[in-house]
Amino acid sequence: MTVAVIEFRLYASWVHSLKEKRMIVKSLLAQLQNRFHVSAAETGEQDTHQIIVIGIAAIVPHNAMADSLMDEISAFVENSTDAQILDERRELR
């Protein structure tokens, strides 16, 4: 059993309020959870309007499946939001 953890740091230049940011984050988290059946949450920079930090975790049977899942999630995040990906960190435990 392997735990795959991936964290994204996104920059949304058009966001000017926490309410706007919250709408984007809630939508993205719901899409990730529904599509990939993973745990996802906003994990940092919650008081900063234009920076979004999202953490995602999933339990998978082996490392190859973890790598594949993280690649799919990364592509999904890149294609499903207009926010720029500043950083992506991956970890297998």
**The predicted structure's pLDDT at residue 7:** 97
Pick the CATH number of 2-92 from 1.20.870.10, 3.30.70.1120, 3.50.50.60, 3.40.190.10: 3.30.70.1120
The mean pLDDT of 75-86, rounded to a whole number, is 93
CB neighbours (10 Å) of residue 35? 12
At 1, the pLDDT band (50, 70, 90 cuts) reads confident
Tens of pLDDT, residue by residue over 31-61, are 999 999 999 999 988 888 899 999 999 999 9
* Domain extents in the chain: 2-92
**The predicted structure's pLDDT at residue 32:** 96
Amino acid at 60: V
Amino acid at 87: D
Buried b (16+ CB within 10 A) or exposed e, 63-87: eeebeebbeebbeebeeebebeeee
